[in-house]
Amino acid sequence: MSNLECARKLIDRVDKEIVKLINKRARLALNLAKFKNKEKSNVYVPSREREVLNKVISSKSFLTKESLKSIYTEIINACRNIQTPVKLSSREFKKDNTIIKVNKNVEIGGKKVHVMAGPCAIESKEIMSNIAKIVKNAGATVLRGGAYKPRSSPYAFQGLGEKGLKYIKDVGNKLHMPVISEAMTVEQVNIVSKYCDVIQIGARNIQNYDLLKAVGKQKKPVLLKRGIATTIEELLLSAEYILSCGNHNVILCERGIRTFETSTRFTIDLNAVPVLKKFSHLPVVLDPSHGIGIREHVGAIAKACIAAGADGLIIEVHPQPENALSDGAQSLLPEQFNKLMKELDLVAKAVGRELL
Ligand code: PEP
Ligand code: MN
């Protein structure tokens, strides 16, 4: 055997050892996941991953620190990915960002940040049409409005139902704007998908698995809102229900979670943006209106959402919020929305995106 062949044999032997060790590490990681599960702790612990990485790159090495870091980052990612039960929504499954085509002008998940705007609830054809013109002129690309409203009180306005869907569709058609509205039950899925371009699954229904399967079996894109007490992993598992039924057009939506804080309606979890982006290829939209629940603060949070990497926003707007039948306190006035859109465009540009 020549010296060259000998040297290659040695390398082959080391490669075998390396693969064996990586597999050993993966098995240990899988075992670790069982303990994490038992203790209900997160699979992804960024501080622990940083600690592992720092230890590795501070060891003596022939390779540069950068090379060692990039090799080890891959090993850590691969070991983490086998610990998580999330599959179709994961980056592991699909590396590139998913871009969801709502219609020929609106693609969510690309360079353009889309703003979906409108009233919380569809109240009348006139109000819907008035708000639609305002938000379209300001640069919104999708029209929102609920026809079936999940209200905390059974005595509050419950929505106009199918009549409301007809109004929003008519107005959307006239203005060439795709529309989004919520389906709360399996029975409502067909009817909402008949009138709307995107079906919203609300925070309260994030773990209504029959409803998730029902929207998974139809083709319209789904905006899946995180629940007020749902972890990021649970949000992705809910998305998995829709994806595994064949509908790959899922938009994740962070809309505020419940914390100990009582000075705002909810607490928007900006952390969710980079974390979801890392784990998943699906677009991420944020709802600053419900996220903070206070009109005068919606703008500040909306800007932060874009800076954090949101692919879109969903914002409530009403010309007479004091008379709104739902969520008036968090609905922006037309002039506030107009001004905000210009500011959002600047923030978008600053982070390499576009909005208007
Ligand atoms: C809404 O969009 O008006 C709504 C009810 O949202 P959520 O499900 O996030 O509360
Ligand atoms: Mn609302």
What's the 150 CA to ligand 1 centre distance in angstroms?
8
The pLDDT of residue 37: 72
At residue 162, φ and ψ (nearest 5 deg) are -60, -35
At residue 123, φ and ψ (nearest 5 deg) are -105, -40
Report d(CA 86, CA 238) in Å as an integer.
10
What's the 90 CA to ligand 1 centre distance in angstroms?
25
Rg from Cα positions in the chain:
23
The pLDDT of residue 85: 67
Both tokens assigned to 63: 């390779």
User: For residues 89 and 236, is the Cβ–Cβ distance under 8 A?
Assistant: yes
Report d(CA 114, CA 127) in Å as an integer.
22
Report d(CA 240, CA 247) in Å as an integer.
10
Give the number of the atom of ligand 1 that is nearest the alpha carbon of residue 146. 3
Report d(CA 122, CA 181) in Å as an integer.
9
Burial class (CB in 10 A: 0-12, 13-18, 19+), 51: exposed
In three-state secondary structure terms, 110 is coil
Residue with token string 């060891």: 59
**Contacts with 328 (C-beta within 8 Å, 6 or more apart), sequence order:** 318, 321, 322
What's the 69 CA to ligand 1 centre distance in angstroms?
42
The CATH class, in words, for 100-350 is alpha beta
The pLDDT of residue 86: 67
The pLDDT of residue 356: 97
Report d(CA 195, CA 180) in Å as an integer.
9
Report d(CA 124, CA 341) in Å as an integer.
25
This prediction's pTM = 0.80
Q: Label residues 73-102 b or e (16+ Cβ within 10 Å = b).
A: eebbeebbbebbebebbbbbeeeebbebeb
Q: Supply the residue whose CA is at minimum distance from atom 9 of ligand 1.
A: 203
Among the bound ligands, name the one nearest to the CA of residue 208: 1
Give the number of the atom of ligand 1 that is nearest the alpha carbon of residue 205. 8
pLDDT tens for the chain, residues 1 to 356: 899 999 999 999 999 999 999 999 999 998 988 887 778 677 678 888 999 999 999 989 899 999 999 999 999 988 987 877 668 999 878 999 999 999 999 999 999 999 999 999 999 999 999 999 999 999 999 999 999 999 999 999 999 999 999 999 999 999 999 999 999 999 999 999 999 999 999 999 999 999 999 999 999 999 999 999 999 999 999 999 999 899 999 999 999 999 999 999 999 999 999 999 999 999 999 999 999 999 999 999 999 999 999 999 999 999 999 999 999 999 999 999 999 999 999 999 999 999 99
Q: Supply the residue whose CA is at minimum distance from atom 10 of ligand 1.
A: 203
Q: Which residues line ligand 1 (CB under 6 A)?
A: 120, 146, 150, 202-204, 225, 255, 287, 290
What's the 285 CA to ligand 2 centre distance in angstroms?
15
Residue ranges covered by each domain of the chain: 3-83, 100-350
Give the number of the atom of ligand 1 that is nearest the alpha carbon of residue 149. 5
The pLDDT of residue 46: 82
Task: Give me the CATH topology for the region 3-83.
Answer: Chorismate Mutase Domain, subunit A (1.20.59)
The pLDDT of residue 193: 98
Both tokens assigned to 64: 């540069």
Helix (H) or strand (E) holding 224: strand 222-225
